[in-house]
Amino acid sequence: MPALLGAGRDSLIHQALLYGSETEFTEEALAFLAEGRGADDALVVIAPPDRIDLLRPGLPPECEFREAAGYFTTPPRSIATAVSVGRDRWWKDGGRVRVVAEQVWKGRDPVEVREWKRFEALVNVVFAGTRTSLLCAYDLRTVPSDVMRIVERTHHGLDYEPPARVYAELDRAPLLPQTGQVAHRGFVRGELPGLRDFTAKAAAVFGLTAAMPLIMAVNEVATNIIKHGGGSGSLLVWSDGGAVICDLLDPVGRVEDRFLGFLPPSPDQPSGAGMWMVRQLCDLVEIRSGGTGTIFRLTARLP
Amino acid sequence: MIQELVALAGHLKDLGLAIEEAPETLAVANPVAATVRAVVAVDGEVYVSFGGMIVGSVDDPAAAADRIAHLLGMIQP
């Protein structure tokens, strides 16, 4: 039986549709969207093409369809897209949006799966104050069991837990050490131009020629370490074969903001958007922080 | 100080690094370039530093010490 629980019209409703057949998916998703038609909500489907094909005949032409593979690229970029479209259209003038979304789990590596698990918790923080009804669909025949455990803990009406707890649990495992050839350099105040040049040259050695986004991200994180962290740090550039990875080490500073860089800055915000930008520029940003300092691991996939 | 850190501290001292011992952590600095240091703790079967980066296995403290020395040796004063 699908789990459809939750209530309220003026805040986020984040439900899960746990289905075991295409028929069940179609009936429950269309019923959920039909409620929004009566209330004049914006209707959106983000799903794999075969799921879109199941729903499209039962939906009005104004319903918006997005293919999951193109939308769920990285959690920060998916959040940015939703916030941008939502501010421009969905939530404008008191409007509400009703979304059916099905994630792509097949083909994701373990790190990607972990980050999309994190996304499930982040949705409850990022969209908490928005007029959004979100129905996340999970095919019980194919979704991994570890993902289902997170689904239960992040959707309203199930075994819900505070997002910060789920997020912290996903950060519990330390990051693996660098492998292979590692280019390294220390930095302090006044050395950022040299650090940018070093990053560009190291990234090129590992095969990343269009490295400007990664260079900008490294510059931003190093600036934060100098200004708000321990005042100095070190950069390690290496590759796992599929990506160029920059580790920025702060031996003293500690990150207190649990969701650093995931919450969208408001347009009139004077500062504090740097880590949001870093997460947009990189394919993956991992942060571990505690009593032994902080590591920022920035990943840029090779083309 | 816990046994795994005692073992690591011995190897770090042999490498010429400066050590500050605490009950559950080890602060390590390169005496020649001490502007940046590493604080090391034990997390299960591994040594961690920089908030959560594995620097080696507790089964091989000598290798972990080499890695830490390498990290600190690169840092410019």
* Domains recognised in chain A with CATH numbers: 13-170 (3.40.50.300), 183-301 (3.30.565.10)
Residue of A nearest to B68 (CA): A177
The mean pLDDT value of chain B amounts to 89
- Read off the pLDDT of residues B49-62 as tens digits, 9 standing for 90 and up: 999 999 999 999 99
Q: What pLDDT does residue A1 have?
A: 37
Which segments of chain A have a pLDDT < 70?
1-10
Locate the domains of chain B by residue range.
3-71
The Cα of B53 is separated from the nearest Cα of chain A by a number of Å equal to 5
Q: What pTM was estimated for this model as a whole?
A: 0.90
More confident site: B70 or A153: A153
Residue of higher predicted confidence among B31 and A166: A166
Q: Determine, for residues B75 and A232 on separate chains, whether the beta-carbon distance falls below 8 Å.
A: yes
Question: What's chain A look like in SS3?
Answer: CCCCCCCCCCCCEEEEEEECCHHHHHHHHHHHHHHHHHCCCEEEEEECHHHHHHHHHHCCCCCEEEEHHHHCCCHHHHHHHHHHHHHHHHCHHHCCEEEEECCCCCCCCHHHHHHHHHHHHHHHHHCCCCCEEEEEEEECCCCCHHHHHHHHHHCCCCCCCCHHHHHHHHCCCCECCCCCCCEEEEEECCCHHHHHHHHHHHHHHCCCCCCHHHHHHHHHHHHHHHHHCCCEEEEEEEECCCEEEEEEEECCCCCCCCCCCCCCCCCCCCCCCHHHHHHHHCCEEEEEEECCEEEEEEEEECC
Predicted confidence (pLDDT) per residue in A95-140, tens digit: 999 999 999 999 999 999 999 999 999 999 999 989 999 999 999 9
Q: Which residue of B5, B17, B26, B36 to mutate against A (max A Cβ within 10 Å)?
A: B36
Q: Which chain A residues touch B if contact means CB-CB below 8 Å?
A: 171, 174-177, 184-188, 230, 232-234, 247, 249-252, 254-255, 287-295
pLDDT at A129: 86
ipTM confidence score: 0.83
> B34: pLDDT confidence band, cut at 50, 70 and 90?
low
A276-290 pLDDT tens trace: 999 999 999 999 999
